[in-house]
Structure 1
Amino acid sequence: MYSRLLKGFLAVLLVTTVAGAPASNGRVRARQSCPDLLQRRAWHTLTDDQKREYISAELCLMRTNSTTGLPETRTLFDDLLAVHQTQSMNVHGDGWFLPFHRLLMHAHETLLRTKCGYTGSQPYWDEAHEAGQFTLSPVFRADDTGFGGDGVFQDGDTDPIRKCIRDGPFASYKLHNGPGYSNTEHCINRAISDPYSLLSSQVNIDYCLEKPNFREAWPCIEANPHKGGHAGVGGEMDNAISSPGDPLFYLHHTFLDRVWWQWQERDLLNRSRDIAGYTTGSEPAGGWVLATLDDELDMKGVIPNERIRDIMDIRGGALCYEYI
């Protein structure tokens, strides 16, 4: 599904802009200083106890009641999925892609810490380190330090939605949102592909890091590195709408956020103000609308909305973390 969507997304005309119309009247948190930076680390560098704490907190989200009232949501985990699902066509293939997912990763991290007692930070999956050999990655361990392995068909079934993970901490969880825009109870499904995972290679990352501006860097990151994680894991993760149904979504998009930050750090003064593209992946009836720093990203009440300008520097404003 991602490959089909990307063809349309990346054909969109991109226009660079760093200013624009005021934000909407949604709930936006006031800008604040950053006391202590959370340190986000690669999953494979965490201790087993740190991995267990993270997975335990994720399981907590899966059993804690929903607060958003979004369709079919029952848990906080569902809430985060629905924030993505209900806005998917506005946050892929356009200038909101990287900012929206940066804020969604922050929302996930915030819920883990405030609702489930997690004391760590949001880890990332260093996919470049494991490109071409996802099947050997420690993220797919079947014990309490991993996310379970590949999906498995049963009884001759060939419907991808039922290629369910059969081991690991999340094997019994039933999703209520998705696949896609539908809302049907189903398992977390996977179809791991080492060939697709090669798209997350360091060569492809470096190619994006060399881009001179956001207008070129964002679609580069959204193409190969983005698809490498989604198609490399496959199943629910390869559904552009409902991919947060696999808990690995958050490690994957935190990895992409790190790539964006690495690109920003090369010229932070300018790149913390550089935004480009439109606010939708396809042209709306009223015509294209340029993305601006004052655009407000909607978290549907999970956490306060934020303007893009307030999340451009991860070490201050609405955010407070760094990558190690």
Structure 2
Amino acid sequence: MLIRCLTYALLLVRATAALTTDKNSESLTELENLIEQAGSTQENILDDRATGAKKRGEACTRDNLTVRRPWGSLSKNERKAYTDAVLCLQSLPAKTPASVAPGAKSRYDDFVATHILQTPYIHYTGTFLAWHRWFLYNYEQALKNECGYKGSQPYWNWALYANNPAASPIFDGSAYSMSGNGEYIAKKGPIILTLGDFAPVYLPAGTGGGCVTSGPFKRMKVNLGPVSLPLNNGSVLTGTGLEYNPRCLTRDISAGVNSAYANATSVVNLILNNKNVGDFQMVMQGVPGSGSIGVHGGGHYTIGGNPADDVFVSPGEPVFYLHHGMIDLVWWTWQALDYKNRRDAVSGTGTFLNSPPSPDTTLDDIIDLGYAGGGPITMRELMSVHDGPFCYMYI
């Protein structure tokens, strides 16, 4: 089986767990087992329909599955190949017209601009999970087709490094990382998140705050935003985010946020304790008024800084795509536990917390990423990682 063929890679994943002092070691093992179980479920589904698939001309088989792996299991050469491709995407001209987003200067910015424009319709909505699956896939395809990347989209397993993310191979600042923390800024207050009339959520600041000074993205310029960036004193900057506003990439990596909201126990509980997709995606994003930001917010605010803290502009942070790889993995794992009933499960409306009120999301709704690419596609085609345009799995 493919899972057995990838045993070595899985052992590398488990070895990286030594970097965390997470006391929830049993939950970490349980999470690893759930991921393996989801992989086995997917293989069994492909095996069961293998003969019929040949007759119908379906392309996805166990033999041609793309395997997405955690960053820590990649070799140094594989990590550098990925960051080189991201830098390549940042060097290519934008496809987004200046009339739509005058600040979009690169192919990378096309993805950021699309996310800015569509944020009110893709968070706390029925399309949240599928939209980001399609968005991540098209980013992966751009890296491959436009920048010659030969690998797959890696992901960031937040649980592995929950108590010390800055020391992980993702953020250690080496040439084979996604760059390090931002320059230390002292005397930062907590991050204060506000949402309508709900009570504010206070998050512990991280150990950086300034410009990133090490690793592949130390010279990166963020061109778009901010739109809604919470600052450590609770004030909010607002704007369209589409104008040209070049600035350094900043980070404020927070172990406090990671260990509180995106540890192994929180991920396992999310997967096992939410039986319908409405509860699952709401808890994942953080139930408003509960005081929790969920694992989705946990990942974003662990990175911190500008633009990671800005819900609109967050894809301007290169680790966004590793973070949403993990979001997609968690959804894939949740679906596999009851695939028959969860494959096509959708819940929600077309607007942020149904404000303003909008129709319920259906499988016939259209997702269109605009100039980021991919073309219009129905929700129905995005519900399985081995149907529609997809043929990938996670380990």
With normalisation by structure 1, the TM-score equals 0.85
Distance 1:216 1:156, change over 3 A: closer
Specify which of 187, 197, 200 is matched with residue 258 of structure 2: 197
| 1:56 and 2:96 are equivalent in the alignment | no
Aligned-residue offset at 1:34: 2.6
Find 2:211's aligned residue among 164, 167, 177.
164
What SS is found at the alignment partner of 1:140? coil
Amino acid across the alignment from 1:203:
T
How far apart, in 1, do the equivalents of 2:214 and 2:166 lie? Answer: 15
Picking from 85, 108, 111, the partner of 2:139 is 108
Confirm or deny: 8 A CA contact 1:148 1:169 kept in the other structure. Answer: yes
Q: 1:316 aligns with which of 374, 383, 387?
A: 387
1:223-234 → structure 2 map (5 Å cutoff) = 223=286, 224-234=294-304
Higher relative contact order (CA 8 A, sep 6+): 1
Q: Distance in 2 between matches of 1:300 and 1:219?
A: 26
Is the counterpart of residue 77 in structure 1 residue 108 in structure 2?
A: yes
Check whether the contact 2:140–2:152 (CA below 8 A) recurs between aligned residues. Answer: yes
Name the CA distance, whole Å, in 1 between partners of 2:148 and 2:384.
Answer: 26
**2:67 partner SS:** strand
Inter-partner Cα distance in structure 2 for 1:118 and 1:283: 39
Contact 1:165/1:190 (<8 A) preserved: yes
**Partner of residue 150, structure 1:** 181
Q: Could you say which residue in structure 1 is the equivalent of 2:361?
A: 291
Contact persistence 2:174–2:180 (CA under 8 A): no
State the 1:142 CA deviation.
Answer: 2.1
Superposition pairs of residues 107-256 of structure 1, within 5 angstroms: 107-152=138-183, 163-180=210-227, 181-182=240-241, 183=243, 184-198=245-259, 199-210=261-272, 211-223=274-286, 224-235=294-305, 236-256=307-327
Q: Secondary structure, in 3 states, of the residue corresponding to 1:39? A: strand
- 1:284 Cα offset (Å): 4.9
In the alignment, the residues of structure 2 paired with residue 119 and residue 96 of structure 1 have an alpha-carbon distance, to the nearest angstrom, of 29
Which of 18, 29, 33 aligns to 2:59? It is: 33
Give the conservation status (yes or no) of the 8 Å contact 2:271–2:333: yes
Take 1:156 and 1:133, find their aligned partners in 2: how far apart are those partners? 20
Q: How much has 1:144 moved relative to structure 2?
A: 2.0
The number of equivalent residue pairs is 292
Rounded Cα–Cα distance in structure 1 between residues aligned with 2:252 and 2:58:
42
Separation in 1 of the partners of 2:188 and 2:210? 8
Moved over 3 A (4+): 153-158, 282-285
Cα distance, 1:128–1:56 mapped onto 2, change above 3 Å: same
| Identical-residue share of aligned pairs (%) | 32
Q: Would the aligned equivalents of 1:94 and 1:279 in 2 still touch at CA under 8 Å?
A: yes
- 1:280 equivalent to 2:351? Answer yes
**C-alpha distance in 2, partners of 1:258/1:204?**
15
Structure 2: how far apart are the matches of 1:222 and 1:155?
30
Q: Which amino acid aligns with 2:211?
A: C
Residue 146 of structure 1 aligns to a residue in which SS? coil
Residue 47 of structure 1: aligned partner? 75
Compute the displacement of 1:42 (Å): 0.5
User: Structure 1 CA distance, aligned partners of 2:127 and 2:163?
Assistant: 29
Q: State the match for 1:4 in structure 2.
A: none
* Cα offsets for 1:261-294 (capped at 9, x unmatched): 0000011121111000111114455x32111111
- Contact kept, 8 Å, 2:173 with 2:181, in 1: the verdict is no
Query: Residue deviations 1:67-86, cap 9 Å, x none?
Result: 12240211111011111111
Give me the whole-angstrom Cα distance separating, in 1, the residues matched to 2:67 and 2:126.
Answer: 27
The 1-side partners of 2:312 and 2:219 are apart by 22
Q: CA deviation at 1:311?
A: 1.1
Using the alignment, how far apart are the partners of 2:143 and 2:70 within structure 1?
17
The residue aligned with 2:10 is none
Q: Equivalents in 1 of 2:215, 2:350: separation in Å?
A: 38
Letter matched to residue 360 of structure 2: L
The equivalent residue for 1:9 is: none
TM-score by length of 2: 0.70
Q: For residues 32 and 303 of structure 1, do their structure 2 counterparts lie closer, same or farther at Cα, with a shift above 3 Å needed?
A: farther
* Aligned-partner SS, 2:308: helix
| 1:131 Cα offset (Å) | 1.2
* CA RMSD between the two structures: 2.3
8 Å Cα contact 1:32-1:317 kept in structure 2: no
Structure 1, 219-228 or 40-49: larger mean CA deviation:
219-228
Offset, 1:197? 0.6
- Structure 1: distance between partners of 2:325 and 2:358: 29
